[in-house]
Structure 1
Amino acid sequence: MQKIKKIVLLMLIIILSGCGSPKLESEVFSPPSISITETPLPVVKQIEPVLKSLPTQIKTEISPVKLWINPLIFDRVKEYLVLPPNLDIVNQVDLADYRLDKSDFKSEEGSSFSEYFVLSVPFVSLVDNISFNDLKAFWNSTESDTYQLWINPADFPVMQVIMGTLNNPNVHISNEIPDGCNSDIQCVRIHRFEESSPLWRVVSVNNLSIFDRYADFDQYPLRINYLIQESNNIKTRVQEDYIWWTRSSNFYPDQLTVLMLTGTSALTRGTAFQMEKNGVDFPLKNIAEILHQADILHVSHEVPMFEDCPPAVPLREEMRFCSDPKNVDLFKMLGVDIIELTGNHLLDWGPEAFLETLSLYDRQGLLVYGAGVNPETASSGLEITDHGNRFVFLGCNISGPDNVWVSDERPGVQKCDQDFLNGQITSYKQQGFLPIVTYQHYELDGFTPNPQLQADFWQSAKAGAVIVSGSQAHFPQGFDFVNGSFIDYGVGNLFFDQMQTWYRKATIDIHYFYNGSYINTALIPIINENQGQPRLMTDEESERFLSKLYENSFYEKN
């Protein structure tokens, strides 16, 4: 180890000696004196960072959009408006960028909203049309007492825009039904379309009904169009695609369903005889125009249609009923959608004839309910969706005879089980359907329903059926409203050969549905002639007939 240290020391001396000439004064080693000269480092010029000045952010105020609204319609339209966040409503039209006012022409350039109003009367009123000129004259008169007119306060300013300044003291501005609307004086209500109620029947204005599928709504006098337009001195604009309104109207015809329910039909006996002599279209000639307006047309046909049905000529008077299958063309001509099969003559010719009837309807694209090949199909509801409204049709027979009811062994008609039916109705209602219930109940020769019929109909209404209708009645009966649902205890004959006084008379019940709700009903009185060719009643006939029905109606006090 000492040897290694000596070698390292010797090498160090040699290295150091190469740097100068040291003077050795003794044998003792001394470290050389080393002179260290500091070499100056190059001067590095410090560069100051050059900061570019950014543009100053100037906070600019965006001028608010200024909107003028006609004061008469301000409260009315504000619930429909979607206002931009940067907007001022101004009181002077010459300061506005945009103006909102009534417009007579929907085609004018701008953003518009159309609001529809209707006239309605108590359901039992015999009025079905009011002239707009007569309405305006009443509004502006200081003396006329033709009506007691009822209007909600929120709608009153708009009515002054439509009809001018109110002068008549017989116009009641109230949220509650006025005392003046009683049974002795004709009361008319003006209200927005969406406030329509079954208890107040909507009537035509200038013979234009808002429920008419083919109406020219540009001619409808109780429509007001609100229009937002740029003013001539506009300074600030909203974005080009800005939507001012929550919707474009308070009435969309494509959300309306017109359902027509009719009474007893039996293309047999005298009616079949007339069809054989005068053509299959004989029964429809006087009422086709009315029935063609239906979106859903219902017929209750009580007899089987099969190939071996005996000929209609010569006239057969037996009570065992059937019809030639070719007579189904009548239903196709009318545009019938649904055949109710609850009638008590459907099994008159046995199961095979009934099965042939079911097959015929199926081939013709006619939907059926109330009967089937087994209990499951007979009890099933018929579900239909039209214009966004979802319906289910349920029907049953309580009166028999026993051989007409379906069983596990034979096809037939659904026997009424009210508890089971109530459960179906409630279940469908909870699923968002509008239940329509029709009965083949006990037949009565009179206007007053018997206690069991009345109780069954009320149960269905209270379970959730929006319409309950009696298809059994050859003799027409009265009406009720229960929980807001409409009941017709007996519609009467549509196509049948009974020519006795009251058996000839009936109604076509037109029910209106909108956006998933039942909103109104109209009754069309008809009278049968020529053993099964109904026509519309005259005004005088209609007034007498409906008055008689109303006298025997409304047993439930809503």
Structure 2
Amino acid sequence: MKKSFLNSIIFLIFCILILTLVLFQVQKTQREIENLASLPPLFFESKREKIILLFVGDIMLDRGVKNKIKNYGQGDFKFPFLKTSQFLNEADLLIGNLEGPISDKGKKAGSIYSFRMDPMALEGLKFAGFDILTLANNHILDYTREAMEDTILRLKEAGIDFVGAGLNFKEACFPKVKETKNTKIAFLAFTNLGSSFWQAKENSSGICWLNEENLKKGIKEAKDKADISVVLFHFGDEYKEKANLTQRYFSHLAIDLGADLVVGHHPHVVQEIENYKGKYIAYSLGNFVFDQNFSKETMEGMALKVLVVGKRIKEIFPIKTKLNRYFQVELVK
């Protein structure tokens, strides 16, 4: 009997201890919930994975830039990017406009302002960390389709993606989707500069021509395949610091069709950024690496840092750049 009574006491003490521990844990959990409830929303966003997209302006590694590389950079095409490579490589995706072919093929078919970059230029672009280059511009065919097609093959071999031109219509005008940190981002590129005869066809190479039909098809495809859709335009008037009506029309149309961000190139000077229906339009990023040292404006540019959180564009940060007398790009402090 005494043994049975003792066992009952021990069991009762054990139950009290268990109950005390449970109550303690419940109170602790309740306090944690109350503390979390008092935290600002930004706390939770900081815990999500952040993605940094970095867009830069026109890149041309021929002519005066090539001469500086030869005379002051020992022929190393990393030279223009030496002062910004660390900054550039911090981005999850780095995107720019390649203003002309990278090739040793083709013959000059453009004006006196025709560019063809040495194949060694690819080493500089890889060093800088470029992930995507847009080829939809008025210089990619300066040395005929042969040089453009060679450029496409060289970029593929180098592991650098491209948009806005291709060996056929689908490659030129369909989105390039990049996945990073479980977020799919689609990139499209278009231009309405040059000749409409340059546009890619079903079975022939060329650029993606900017018109309503191509824009609608491309954005629909991008939205079907990705979380975020980015449209790159090569448009506008050279050396004008304000976007023209055509730029505004197609940029607004892109947003209306579902694009999440629009980035422009071609004017060689920085133009304004517009917030249209809660989405950003950077009309022109100006020159990134170029040899137009005839004005202060053409020696300046903008890098557009885009913060993506929770599969959405959360914020943008315009960052000023400038070119020194050796045509090396630097950040403006």
**TM range, normalised to the smaller chain?**
0.7 to 0.9
Distance 1:526-1:76 versus aligned 2 partners, 3 A rule: same
Aligned mates of 1:265, 1:422 — CA distance in 2: 28
Distance 1:475-1:269 versus aligned 2 partners, 3 A rule: same
Aligned mates of 2:208, 2:153 — CA distance in 1: 18
Distance 1:76-1:486 versus aligned 2 partners, 3 A rule: farther
Q: Helix, strand or coil: the match of 2:209?
A: coil
Distance 1:318-1:273 versus aligned 2 partners, 3 A rule: farther
> 1:151 maps to what in 2?
none
Aligned residues, how many? Answer: 311
Give me the TM-score of the superposition, normalised by structure 2: 0.85
Aligned mates of 1:193, 1:483 — CA distance in 2: 26
Aligned mates of 1:289, 1:394 — CA distance in 2: 27
Contact map agreement 2:99 2:135 (CA 8 A) in 1: yes
In the alignment, residue 363 of structure 1 is paired with which amino acid? E
Structure (1/2) with the larger helix percentage? 2
* 2:126 maps to which of 309, 320, 332: 332
Post-superposition offset of 1:442: 2.3
Q: For 1:438-496, what per-residue CA distance to the aligned partner results, in whole angstroms no more than 9, with x for missing partners?
A: 00112242222111111111111222211100022301101011222111010011111
Aligned mates of 1:399, 1:432 — CA distance in 2: 28
Distance 1:485-1:417 versus aligned 2 partners, 3 A rule: same
Does residue 1:513 correspond to 2:279, yes or no?
no
Give me the TM-score of the superposition, normalised by structure 1: 0.52
Q: For 1:118-176, what per-residue CA distance to the aligned partner results, in whole angstroms no more than 9, with x for missing partners?
A: xxxxxxxxxxxxxxxxxxxxxxxxxxxxxxxxxxxx54xxxxxxxxxxxxxxxxxxxxx
> 2:23 maps to what in 1?
65
Aligned mates of 2:32, 2:194 — CA distance in 1: 60
Aligned mates of 1:307, 1:419 — CA distance in 2: 34
* 1:480 maps to which of 247, 269, 274: 274
Does residue 1:438 correspond to 2:232, yes or no?
yes
Contact map agreement 1:494 1:532 (CA 8 A) in 2: no
Residue correspondence of structure 1 range 391-406 to structure 2 within 5 A: 391-406=185-200
Post-superposition offset of 1:504: 1.1
Q: For 1:332-390, what per-residue CA distance to the aligned partner results, in whole angstroms no more than 9, with x for missing partners?
A: 11121111111211111111111111111111111111100122221111011001110
Does residue 1:377 correspond to 2:174, yes or no?
no
Moved more, 406-415 or 281-290: 406-415
> 1:75 maps to what in 2?
34
Contact map agreement 2:94 2:131 (CA 8 A) in 1: yes
Q: Helix, strand or coil: the match of 1:333?
A: helix
Runs of 4 or more, structure 1, over 4 Å off, are 58-62, 67-74
> 1:470 maps to what in 2?
264
* 1:360 maps to which of 154, 162, 177: 154
Contact map agreement 1:345 1:404 (CA 8 A) in 2: no
Contact map agreement 2:115 2:139 (CA 8 A) in 1: yes
- CA RMSD, aligned part only? 2.7
Contact map agreement 1:263 1:473 (CA 8 A) in 2: no
Distance 1:443-1:285 versus aligned 2 partners, 3 A rule: same
> 1:38 maps to what in 2?
none
> 2:8 maps to what in 1?
none
In structure 2, stretches of 5+ residues that fail to align are 1-10
Contact map agreement 2:240 2:267 (CA 8 A) in 1: no
Aligned mates of 2:174, 2:221 — CA distance in 1: 13
Post-superposition offset of 1:71: 10
Does residue 1:268 correspond to 2:62, yes or no?
yes
Distance 1:307-1:399 versus aligned 2 partners, 3 A rule: closer
Aligned mates of 1:438, 1:285 — CA distance in 2: 26
In structure 1, stretches of 5+ residues that fail to align are 1-57, 79-153, 156-189, 196-249, 311-316, 539-558
> 1:192 maps to what in 2?
42
* 1:282 maps to which of 58, 71, 79: 79
Distance 1:353-1:309 versus aligned 2 partners, 3 A rule: closer
**Identical aligned pairs, as a percentage?**
20
Does residue 1:251 correspond to 2:47, yes or no?
yes
Q: For 1:10-58, what per-residue CA distance to the aligned partner results, in whole angstroms no more than 9, with x for missing partners?
A: xxxxxxxxxxxxxxxxxxxxxxxxxxxxxxxxxxxxxxxxxxxxxxxx9
Post-superposition offset of 1:70: 11
> 1:349 maps to what in 2?
143
Contact map agreement 2:190 2:234 (CA 8 A) in 1: yes
In the alignment, residue 418 of structure 1 is paired with which amino acid? E
Aligned mates of 1:332, 1:435 — CA distance in 2: 24
Q: For 1:395-441, what per-residue CA distance to the aligned partner results, in whole angstroms no more than 9, with x for missing partners?
A: 11112234532235742110012243134324432554210100011
Distance 1:274-1:481 versus aligned 2 partners, 3 A rule: same
Moved more, 449-458 or 412-421: 412-421
Contact map agreement 1:266 1:495 (CA 8 A) in 2: yes
Post-superposition offset of 1:289: 1.6
Q: Whose radius of gyration is greater, 1 or 2?
A: 1
Aligned mates of 1:410, 1:454 — CA distance in 2: 30
Q: For 1:44-93, what per-residue CA distance to the aligned partner results, in whole angstroms no more than 9, with x for missing partners?
A: xxxxxxxxxxxxxx997862422546999763425xxxxxxxxxxxxxxx
